[in-house]
Amino acid sequence: MIKSYLQKMKGGEKSPPRKPFSKIAWSWLGAFIGIYLVAILSRFSNTGLLDSLFLVGSFGASAVLIYAAPQVEYAQPRNLIGGHIISAVIGVTVYKLLPFDVALLGAFAVSLSIVAMHFTRTTHPPGGATALIAVIGNAEVHNIGYQFVVSPIAVGAFVMLFIALVVNNLSKNPKRHYPRYWY
């Protein structure tokens, strides 16, 4: 039984080849513009870039999905927007309502977010990080409460979606388009 279990860990398939340079270039362009636009939103909040809440770590993972793998299920608009917003609401709620240690709250927020994303068909892996950030974030994150869901999360996700729509459809390659579906 143990041997059979360990056999599953061998893999066995060959690693896929490197993507063509054009796909890498489009991915770079989308990620650069998307993250940069989210970052410069801090100028409108009258805070410095490093103090800004607009640039959330989970957006980096979203950038990989929506700019480097725009055809995958987890990169579609409903997943990007829904996954982040649902997970942010869960993270803030868990932090506000439950009087437990932050390690337990973080685990509960992430796991509950996964369940909610599955039920709503909005699974977006960076959403788990968004829920965790709502729990383990600094005092500023905790003080703004549900405002965290609107800004930076919803605003940032919509900015990144807009850039994904523009950049992913600039290519003349008919296979590179975004989105595959909206809902």
pLDDT tens digit string along 127-170? 999 999 999 999 989 999 999 999 999 999 999 999 999 999 99
In a domain, 6, yes or no: no
Q: Which of 96, 84, 91 is nearest to 155 (CA)?
A: 84
Q: For residue 171, what pLDDT band results from cuts at 50, 70 and 90?
A: confident
Structure token digits, residue 63? 């950038």
Domain count, the chain: 1
- Quick count: other Cβ atoms within 10 Å of Cβ 32? 14
Q: For residue 174, what pLDDT band results from cuts at 50, 70 and 90?
A: confident
In a domain, 51, yes or no: yes
How far apart, in whole angstroms, are the C-alpha atoms of residue 3 and residue 14?
22
How far apart, in whole angstroms, are the C-alpha atoms of residue 165 and residue 126?
19
In a domain, 121, yes or no: yes
Structure token digits, residue 58? 């989970």
pLDDT tens digit string along 39-52? 888 667 654 444 55
Structural domain boundaries enclosing 61: 22-167
In a domain, 14, yes or no: no
Q: What is the pTM of this model?
A: 0.90
In a domain, 105, yes or no: yes
